[in-house]
C-alpha cells in the first residue's frame, strides 16, 4: 500500500520533471548501446556490424522511451499537461476570443460568488454563537407593531425565567438602548457613544467570551453596584488604540435618562467577531455594553427583548406549547400585568434573516439564471469557434487523434477558460463583498460580516467546473463528430453540416433570449415595486430635512423647559438658510415605542389600545412636513400647568371615534392621565413604508419627558454647511452638548427601503447583463449565418434582389429567433412572477405594462443586434462573391 502511494507520488512528480528525466534516460540508453557495441567488438565483429547489432538488440529507442515515460509518470496527467499547453497556445492565438469569454465568465461567476457569499452569510451560515440552533427569540403580538408591542416587562421576564421548564436559560437586553444617550466625557469634547444594556447572563448564554477581562458579576448587575462596562472590539481599537491596560481602569460615561453617570470600570473587551448590531439591529454599531438594572426598568413597561436557550432535546414546538400555557397562568397570578404576553417563539436565526429568505432565494435564482445565460453564450461562442476550426480538428482526426482525445482536448479548453474566468470572477466577488460589508446604510442583518470565505471558494470551484462542463460539452461533441471528408473539403460554407450547426446555435440563442426575458420581467416587476414604494405617501416630506441629537439643560424642571427650548429653536431658526426647526424624541421609520391610549368613553373597551408616542415641540409637525387635518399644532402655551394636550393621527382618530371629529375630545393617554385632543394630522408611516400607519399620538415636550431629543431642521442648503453654525449655537446655550452630527431624514427613509432597493438593483443589473449577453448571442448567430450565406445572397442580388429586400430577410430571421425566445420567456415569466408575488409591492404579478415594456425592450435590442449583420448582408458585392474572392 505504502509502495503504491510512493509510486503514485513519484509518478505525479515525474510529470513535472519530464525533461531532466528524459535527459537522464537518453544518457542511460547511450551508455547501454556503447556497452553493447563494446561486447560485440569483443566477439570479433566489425565496428559497423557491432553497432548495427547493438541497435537491433536494443529495439526502437523511441518505443523504449515511450514505455519508460508511461511507466514513470501518470499518462492521464501527462495528456492533461499536453492538452493544457496546447490550449494555452491556441487561446493565445485567439486572444480576442479568449478575453471576451473570460470576461463574460468572470462577470457571471463573480456575481454568483458574491451573491452566494451574501446568502451564505445571512441564511446558511449559523450565527456566530455557541450552539446557535438552540437559541430562541421571543415576541409578543406575533412580532408585529412597534418595539413596545414585541417586548416584555421585567416582571414578565422574571416570572417566565423562574417557571419555565423548556429553557436552559433565558436572557434579555434593553430594546430602548437608542433612547439612552451616552457620552464619553473627560477626554476632550463629550463624545456620543452607543451603549446597550444587557442582562447579566446575556453574553454567557450566547457563548460570547471577552477576549480580555471577564463577564459581569451579579454585584455589578444590581442597582447600586459598581458600574462596569464591556467594550466592543471596534470601539476599543478606535478609542483606546487597542490598549489592553484599559481593562480595570475607569472611564467617564454620562447617560441622559438612565442611571449610569460617572466613572465606569472597564471589565473587558468583547471579541471582534461579536457584532450586536449585525444580529439584533442591522446597521447599528455598538460601542459598549453595561448591565441592565432590572430594578430600574421594573416600572417602565415593555422594554426587554428576550432570548432563550432551549434545554438539549427540547424542540421549539414543545417550548411554544409550554409558553402558550405558562404565560396565561402567570398573567392570572399577576392582575397588574397589562397583557397576557401571548408569545411567538422562533429560532434566533429565523428571526434575524427569516424575512429576507424569499428575497435572497430570488436573488440566488436570478444570479443562477445569469450563469446559465453566460454558459449558453460561451457555448455559442465556442461552437462558432469550433466551426471555424473544423478543418483543424478534421486534420487531427486524419492524423490519428481518437474521438475521445478530441473531446478531452475541447473540454480541457473550456475548463481552462472557466478556471481563468473563475479566478477573475473571484476578484470581482471579493470587491463586491468587501464594499457590501461596509454599507452601513443597508438594513440587512449580518451584512457587515459578508466575505468570500472557504464555502464561497468551494462554491466557486463547483460552479466553475460545472460551467466549464456545461458550455464545453456541446462544442466538444460537435467538434469531434461530423464527416471528415466534408470538413476537409470545404470551409463549412453552405454545406449541410454548416446548416445543422446553425440550428444548434439558434436553439441556444432562443433559450438565451427566453432566460433574459424572464430576468427582465422579474427585474421590471421588482423595480416597479421599489418605485411604487418610493411613491408612497409617507405623511412627511423627507427631503431637505435633517435631525441632530441634542441635549438641553432645564435643571430638571418642566416649568423652565419651555423657555429653554423656545430659545434654542428661536436661535436655530435665526441661522441663515434654516427655514424651520422643531424637536421630537423619536423620528418616523427610526426607533419607536408605544403606550396605551383610548378615548375616555372607550377606556373599558378591551380592544388593542396601543399608540406610537412622540414627544414633540411646537413647530415639529410643520418642519417635518406633516399635514394638520384639523385643530391646531402643539403650542408653547401647553405648559406643565395647563390641561394636557395631544395631537393624534387619523388612524388613531378612526380607531377611537369612527366617522367623527376627534378635536376637542378627551383621551386617557400617557401616565393614564386625561388629555385633550387639540389637533389631527395625516397618517405618517412610522414602522415601514409598506405598512399602513398605526395609531400615533404627539404630546408636548413641555408636558412630558422625552426619551432623548432630536433637533429637526428644514433647509435647502447642504446640511454640512449649516452644521457648524447649529453646533456652535447649541454649544453656546449648553456647553455639555456632545459633538453629534446631522442625519438627513431621507437617509432614514433610504435605510428603510434599502433591502428592497438592494434586491431591485441587483436583479436589474443581472437583467441588463442578461440582455447584453442575449444581444451578443443573436449578433453572433445572425452574423455567422450571413457569412455562410454570402454566396447565396450574392447570387440573389445578381438576379435582381434589392439591398432592402436582403436586409429585410436578415432582420426577419433575427426577429423570428427573438420572438420564439420572447414567447417562451413570457410564458415562463408568468410562472416566475407568481412565485415572487409576495415580494411585490403595489404591483400585480401580471402587470401588463411591465410585460409589454420588457418585451418591447428585448425585441428592440434583438433588432439592433440583427441590424448590423443585415447591413453587412445588403452591402455584399455580388460580383466579388460570384468570382469567389
Partner 1 sequence: MGKGNLELLQGTLDLMVLHTLAGMGPLHGYGVARRIEQVSGEEVLLNQGTIYASLVRLQQRGWISAEWGVSDNNRKAKFYAITRQGRKQLARDTAYWGRLTGVIGRVLAFASKGDER
Please tell me whether residue 162 binds partner 1 under the rule CB under 8 A: no
Stretches 64-72, 643-651, 654-662, 694-702: which one binds partner 1 (CB under 8 A)?
Answer: 64-72
For partner 1, which is the closer residue by CB, 61 or 423?
Answer: 61
Query: Site for partner 1 (CB under 8 A): which residue of 41, 45, 61, 815?
Result: 61
Contacts of 168 (CB under 8 A, 6+ apart): 134, 309, 310, 311, 312
DSSP per residue over 241-294, as a string? TT-GGGTT-EEEEEESSSS-EEEEEEEEE--TT--HHHHHSTT----EEEE--H
* CB of 625 closer than 8 Å to CB of 697: no
Minimum separation from the CB atom of position 2 to partner 1 (A): 8
Torsion of CA 511, 513, 514, 520, to 10 degrees: 150
68 binds partner 1 (CB under 8 A): yes
Please tell me what DSSP assigns to residue 691.
S
Q: Is 556 one of the binding residues for partner 1 (CB under 8 A)?
A: no
Which of 29/401 has CB closer to partner 1?
Answer: 29
Distance, CA of 692 to CA of 711 (rounded, Å): 26
DSSP state of 692: P
Nearest distance in Å: CB 69, partner 1: 9
| Selected range binding partner 1 among 69-77, 264-272, 729-737, 807-815, rule: CB under 8 A | 69-77
The cell for 619 is 413647530
* Comparison of 24 and 601: residue with beta carbon closer to partner 1: 24
Among 20, 44, 60, 735, binds partner 1 (CB under 8 A): 60
Contact 373, 109 (CB under 8 A): no
Asked if 32 interacts with partner 1 (CB under 8 A), we say yes
CB of 32 to partner 1, least distance (A): 4
Binding of partner 1 at residue 4 (CB under 8 A)? yes
CB of 19 to partner 1, least distance (A): 15
Residue among 6, 214, 357, 500 that touches partner 1 (CB under 8 A): 6
Contact pick of 1, 19, 44, 59 for partner 1 (by CB under 8 A): 59
Q: Any contact of residue 57 with partner 1 (CB under 8 A)?
A: yes
Distances (CA, A) of 395 to 85, 88, 167, 479: 19, 20, 75, 12
Does 214 participate in binding partner 1 (rule CB under 8 A)?
no
52 vs 571, which CB is nearer to partner 1?
A: 52
Q: What are phi and psi of 770, to 5 degrees?
A: -60, -40
Among 17, 26, 31, 342, binds partner 1 (CB under 8 A): 31
Among the listed ranges 68-76, 454-462, 519-527, 557-565, the one in contact with partner 1 (CB under 8 A) is 68-76
Any residues with CB less than 8 A from the CB of 550 and at least 6 apart, and which?
568, 583, 709, 710, 711, 730, 734, 737, 740
Nearer to partner 1, 47 or 664 (CB): 47
Q: Which residue among 34, 601, 661, 691 contacts partner 1 (CB under 8 A)?
A: 34
Is residue 56 within 8 Å of 36, Cβ to Cβ? no
Instruction: Report if residue 35 touches partner 1, rule: CB under 8 A.
Output: yes
Distance CA(508)–CA(505), nearest Å, equals 5
* Segment interacting with partner 1 (CB under 8 A) among 25-33, 78-86, 284-292, 744-752: 25-33
* 14 vs 98, beta carbon nearer partner 1: 14
The reply to whether 27 sits near partner 1 by the rule CB under 8 A is: yes
**Interface segment toward partner 1; rule CB under 8 A; list 1-9, 396-404, 538-546, 718-726:** 1-9
Residue of the chain from 16, 23, 26, 28 that contacts partner 1 (CB under 8 A) = 28
- Minimum CB distance to partner 1 smaller for 11 or for 311: 11
Q: Does 532 bind partner 1 (CB under 8 A)?
A: no
CA distances from 433 to 310, 455, 701 (A): 34, 14, 44
Cα 37 from Cα 45, distance rounded (Å): 9
CB 348 within 8 A of CB 307: yes
CA distances, 661 to each of 597, 653, 664, 681 (Å): 17, 8, 8, 12
Phi, psi of 446, rounded to the nearest 5 degrees: 65, 0
- Contact flag: residue 25 with partner 1 (CB under 8 A): yes
CB 696 within 8 A of CB 647: no
23 contributes a contact to partner 1 by CB under 8 A: no
The only residue of 43, 46, 71, 831 in contact with partner 1, by rule CB under 8 A: 71
Q: How far is the CB of 73 from partner 1 (least distance, A)?
A: 9
C-alpha cell of residue 461: 470551484
Q: Is 36 in the site for partner 1 (CB under 8 A)?
A: yes
Instruction: Rule CB under 8 A: say whether 52 interacts with partner 1.
Output: no
- Closest to partner 1 by CB, 7 vs 844, is 7
Q: How far is the CB of 84 from partner 1 (least distance, A)?
A: 23
The stretch among 51-59, 298-306, 355-363, 451-459 that binds partner 1 (CB under 8 A) is 51-59
Give dist(CA 424, CA 431) in Å, integer. 11
Q: Cβ 42 to partner 1, closest distance in Å? A: 10
Residue 76 within binding range of partner 1, rule CB under 8 A: no
Residue 199 is classified by DSSP as -
16 scored as a contact of partner 1 (CB under 8 A): no
C-alpha cell at 383: 461552437
Nearer to partner 1, 58 or 86 (CB): 58
- CB nearer to partner 1: give 22 or 691: 22
DSSP 746-780: HHHHHHHHHHHHHHHHHHHHHHHHHHHHHHHHHHH
Is 401 among the residues that bind partner 1 (CB under 8 A)? no
Closest distance between partner 1 and the C-beta of residue 47, in Å? 16
> What residue has cell string 448567430?
781
Nearer to partner 1, 57 or 489 (CB): 57
Least Cβ distance, residue 400 to partner 1 (angstroms)? 19
- Residue from 15, 40, 50, 72 touching partner 1 (CB under 8 A): that is 72
Question: CB-side exposure of 766: number of CA atoms within 13 Å?
Answer: 37
Q: How many CB atoms lie within 10 A of CB 251?
A: 20
Query: Any contact of residue 85 with partner 1 (CB under 8 A)?
Result: no
Asked if 41 touches partner 1 (CB under 8 A), the answer is no
Q: Strand pairing of 195-198 and 288-291?
A: parallel
The vertex-18 CA angle with 16 and 23, nearest 5°, equals 145
Asked if 22 touches partner 1 (CB under 8 A), the answer is: no
> How close are the terminal C-alpha atoms of the chain, in Å?
66
7 binds partner 1 (CB under 8 A): yes
- Which contiguous run of DSSP H or E holds residue 53? helix 47-58
Q: Is 646 helix (H, G, I), strand (E, B) or coil?
A: strand
The 8-class DSSP code of residue 600 comes to G
Min dist CB 214 to partner 1, Å, is 57
Q: Is 15 in the site for partner 1 (CB under 8 A)?
A: no
Helix 790-798 / helix 803-835 crossing angle, nearest 10 deg? 140
Contact residues for partner 1, defined by CB under 8 A: 3-4, 6-7, 10-11, 14, 24-25, 27-29, 31-32, 34-36, 38-39, 57-61, 63-64, 67-68, 70-72
Amino acid at each position: 500500500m505504502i509502495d503504491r502511494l510512493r509510486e503514485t507520488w513519484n509518478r505525479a512528480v515525474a510529470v513535472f520533471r519530464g525533461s531532466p528525466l528524459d535527459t537522464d534516460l537518453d544518457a542511460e540508453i547511450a551508455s547501454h548501446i556503447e556497452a553493447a557495441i563494446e561486447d560485440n567488438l569483443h566477439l570479433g565483429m566489425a565496428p559497423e556490424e557491432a553497432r548495427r547489432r547493438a541497435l537491433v538488440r536494443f529495439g526502437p529507442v523511441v518505443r523504449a522511451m515511450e514505455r519508460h515515460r508511461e511507466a514513470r509518470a501518470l499518462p492521464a496527467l501527462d495528456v492533461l499537461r499536453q492538452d493544457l499547453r496546447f490550449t494555452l497556445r491556441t487561446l493565445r492565438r485567439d486572444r480576442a476570443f479568449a478575453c471576451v469569454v473570460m470576461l463574460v465568465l468572470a462577470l457571471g461567476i463573480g456575481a454568483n460568488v458574491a451573491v452566494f457569499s451574501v446568502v451564505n452569510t445571512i441564511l446558511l451560515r449559523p450565527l456566530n454563537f455557541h450552539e446557535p440552533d438552540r437559541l430562541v427569540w421571543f415576541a409578543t403580538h406575533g412580532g408585529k407593531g412597534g418595539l413596545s408591542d414585541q417586548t416584555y416587562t421585567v416582571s414578565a421576564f422574571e416570572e417566565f425565567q423562574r417557571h419555565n421548564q423548556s429553557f436552559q436559560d433565558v436572557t434579555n437586553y434593553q430594546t430602548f438602548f437608542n433612547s439612552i444617550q451616552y457620552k464619553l466625557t473627560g477626554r476632550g469634547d463629550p463624545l456620543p457613544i452607543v451603549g446597550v444594556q444587557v442582562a447579566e447572563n446575556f453574553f454567557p448564554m450566547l457563548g460570547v467570551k471577552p477576549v480580555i477581562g471577564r463577564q459581569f458579576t451579579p454585584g455589578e448587575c444590581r442597582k447600586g453596584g459598581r458600574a462596569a462596562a464591556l467594550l466592543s472590539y471596534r470601539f476599543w481599537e478606535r478609542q483606546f488604540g487597542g490598549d489592553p491596560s484599559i481593562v480595570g481602569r475607569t472611564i467617564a460615561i454620562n447617560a441622559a435618562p438612565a442611571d449610569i453617570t460617572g466613572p465606569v470600570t472597564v471589565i473587558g473587551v468583547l471579541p471582534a467577531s461579536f457584532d450586536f448590531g449585525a444580529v439584533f439591529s442591522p446597521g447599528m454599531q455598538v460601542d459598549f455594553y453595561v448591565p441592565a438594572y432590572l430594578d430600574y426598568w421594573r416600572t417602565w413597561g415593555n422594554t426587554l427583548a428576550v432570548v432563550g436557550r432551549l434545554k438539549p432535546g427540547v424542540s421549539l414546538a414543545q417550548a411554544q406549547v409550554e409558553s402558550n400555557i405558562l404565560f396565561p397562568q402567570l398573567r392570572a397570578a399577576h392582575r397588574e400585568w397589562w397583557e397576557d404576553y401571548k408569545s411567538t417563539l422562533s429560532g434566533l436565526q429565523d428571526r434575524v434573516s427569516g424575512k429576507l429568505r424569499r428575497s435572497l432565494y430570488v436573488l440566488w435564482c436570478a444570479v443562477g439564471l445569469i450563469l446559465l445565460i453566460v454558459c449558453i453564450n460561451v457555448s455559442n461562442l465556442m461552437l462558432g469557434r469550433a466551426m471555424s476550426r473544423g478543418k483543424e480538428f478534421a486534420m487531427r482526426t486524419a492524423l490519428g487523434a481518437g474521438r475521445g482525445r478530441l473531446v478531452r482536448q475541447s473540454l480541457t479548453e473550456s475548463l481552462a477558460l472557466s478556471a481563468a474566468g473563475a479566478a477573475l470572477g473571484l476578484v470581482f466577488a471579493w470587491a463586491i463583498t468587501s464594499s457590501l460589508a461596509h454599507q452601513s446604510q443597508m438594513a440587512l442583518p449580518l451584512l457587515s460580516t459578508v466575505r468570500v470565505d472557504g464555502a464561497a471558494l468551494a462554491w466557486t470551484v463547483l460552479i466553475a467546473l460545472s460551467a466549464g462542463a456545461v458550455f464545453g460539452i456541446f462544442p466538444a461533441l460537435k467538434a469531434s463528430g461530423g464527416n471528415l471528408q466534408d470538413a476537409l473539403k470545404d470551409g463549412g460554407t453552405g454545406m449541410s453540416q454548416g446548416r445543422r450547426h446553425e440550428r444548434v446555435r439558434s436553439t441556444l440563442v432562443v433559450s438565451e433570449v427566453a432566460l433574459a426575458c424572464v430576468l427582465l420581467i422579474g427585474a421590471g416587476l421588482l423595480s416597479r415595486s421599489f418605485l411604487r414604494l418610493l411613491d408612497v405617501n409617507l405623511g412627511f416630506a423627507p427631503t431637505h430635512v435633517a435631525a441632530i441629537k441634542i441635549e438641553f439643560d432645564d435643571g430638571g424642571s418642566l416649568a423652565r423647559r419651555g423657555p429653554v427650548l423656545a430659545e434654542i429653536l428661536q436661535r436655530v431658526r435665526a441661522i441663515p438658510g434654516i427655514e424651520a426647526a422643531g424637536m421630537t424624541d423619536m423620528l418616523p421609520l427610526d426607533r419607536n415605542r408605544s403606550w396605551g391610549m383610548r378615548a375616555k368613553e372607550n377606556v373599558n373597551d378591551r380592544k388593542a389600545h396601543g399608540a406610537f408616542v412622540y414627544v414633540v415641540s411646537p413647530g415639529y409637525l410643520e418642519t417635518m412636513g406633516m399635514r394638520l387635518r384639523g385643530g391646531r399644532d402643539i403650542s408653547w402655551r401647553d405648559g406643565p400647568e395647563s390641561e394636557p394636550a395631544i395631537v393624534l393621527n387619523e388612524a388613531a382618530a378612526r380607531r377611537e371615534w369612527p366617522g367623527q371629529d376627534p378635536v376637542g375630545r378627551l383621551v386617557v393617554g400617557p401616565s393614564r392621565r386625561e388629555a385633550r385632543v387639540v389637533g389631527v394630522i395625516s397618517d405618517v408611516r412610522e414602522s415601514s413604508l409598506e405598512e399602513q400607519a398605526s395609531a400615533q399620538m404627539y404630546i408636548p415636550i413641555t408636558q412630558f419627558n422625552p426619551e432623548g431629543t432630536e433637533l429637526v431642521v428644514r433647509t435647502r442648503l447642504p446640511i454640512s454647511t449649516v452644521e457648524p453654525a447649529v453646533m456652535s449655537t447649541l454649544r453656546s446655550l449648553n456647553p455639555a452638548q456632545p459633538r453629534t452630527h446631522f442625519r438627513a431624514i431621507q437617509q432614514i427613509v433610504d435605510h428603510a427601503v434599502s433591502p428592497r432597493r438592494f434586491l431591485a438593483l441587483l436583479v436589474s443589473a443581472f437583467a441588463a447583463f442578461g440582455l447584453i449577453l442575449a444581444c451578443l448571442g443573436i449578433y453572433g448567430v445572425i452574423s455567422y449565418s450571413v457569412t455562410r450565406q454570402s454566396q447565396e445572397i450574392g447570387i440573389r442580388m445578381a438576379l435582381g434582389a434589392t439591398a432592402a429586400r436582403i436586409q429585410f430577410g436578415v432582420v426577419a430571421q433575427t426577429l423570428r429567433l427573438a420572438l420564439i425566445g420572447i414567447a417562451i420567456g413570457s410564458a415562463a415569466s408568468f410562472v416566475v412572477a407568481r412565485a415572487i408575488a409576495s415580494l411585490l409591492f403595489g404591483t400585480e404579478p401580471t402587470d401588463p405594462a411591465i410585460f409589454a415594456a420588457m418585451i418591447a425592450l428585448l425585441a428592440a435590442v434583438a433588432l439592433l443586434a440583427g441590424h448590423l449583420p443585415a447591413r453587412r448582408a445588403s452591402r455584399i458585392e455580388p460580383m466579388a462573391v460570384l468570382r469567389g474572392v
